[in-house]
Amino acid sequence: MTSQTTSLPLTASNPAPQATRQLRNFIGGEHVDGVRTFDKLNPVDGSLIAEVHESGRHEVDRAVAAARAALDGPWGRMTTGERATILRRIADTIERRFDDLVAAEVGDTGKPETLARDLDVARAAANFRAFADVVSAAGLDSFLTELPDGRRALNYAVRKPLGVVAVIVPWNLPLLLLTWKLAPALAGGNTVVVKPSEETPSSATLLAEILLEAGLPAGVVNVVHGFGEDSAGEFLTTHPGIDGVTFTGESSTGSAIMRAVAPRVRPVSFELGGKNAAVVFADADLDTAIAGLARSTYLNTGQVCLCTERIYVERAIFDDVAAGLAEQAARLRLGRPEDPATTTGPLISQAHRAKVLSYLDLAQQEGATLLAGGGIPSLGPGLDGGSWIEPTLWTGLDNSHRTVREEVFGPVAALIPFDTEEEAIALANDTDYGLAAVTWTRDLSRGHRVAQRMRVGMSWVNTWYLRDLRSPFGGVGLSGIGREGGHHSLEFYTEPTNVCVQL
Q: Is 171 left (phi over 0), alpha (psi -120 to 50) or beta?
A: alpha
- Residue 490 in contact with residue 181, Cβ under 8 Å? no
Catalytic residue among 59, 198, 199, 271: 271
List of E strands, 434-493: 436-440, 458-461, 480-481
Alpha helices in 339-464 (DSSP H): 350-365, 402-405, 421-429, 444-453
**CA–CA gap between residue 350 and residue 414 (Å, rounded):** 23
The string of DSSP letters for 296-360 reads HHHGGGG-STT-EEEEEEEGGGHHHHHHHHHHHHHH--B--TT-TT--B---S-HHHHHHHHHHH
Q: Is 198 marked active-site?
A: no
**Phi, psi (degrees; rounded to nearest 5) at 500:** -120, 120
**Phi, psi (degrees; rounded to nearest 5) at 73:** -100, -150
**CA–CA gap between residue 454 and residue 439 (Å, rounded):** 9
CA atoms 229, 185, 432, 170: torsion sign = negative
**Phi, psi (degrees; rounded to nearest 5) at 484:** -115, 160
**CA–CA gap between residue 279 and residue 430 (Å, rounded):** 13
Catalytic residue among 105, 198, 209, 305: 305
Q: Is 229 marked active-site?
A: no
- Residue 96 in contact with residue 124, Cβ under 8 Å? no
**CA–CA gap between residue 44 and residue 471 (Å, rounded):** 35
CA atoms 66, 67, 73, 74: torsion sign = positive
**CA–CA gap between residue 54 and residue 32 (Å, rounded):** 10
- Residue 436 in contact with residue 458, Cβ under 8 Å? yes
- Residue 113 in contact with residue 337, Cβ under 8 Å? yes
- Residue 134 in contact with residue 180, Cβ under 8 Å? no
* Residues taking part in catalysis: 271, 305
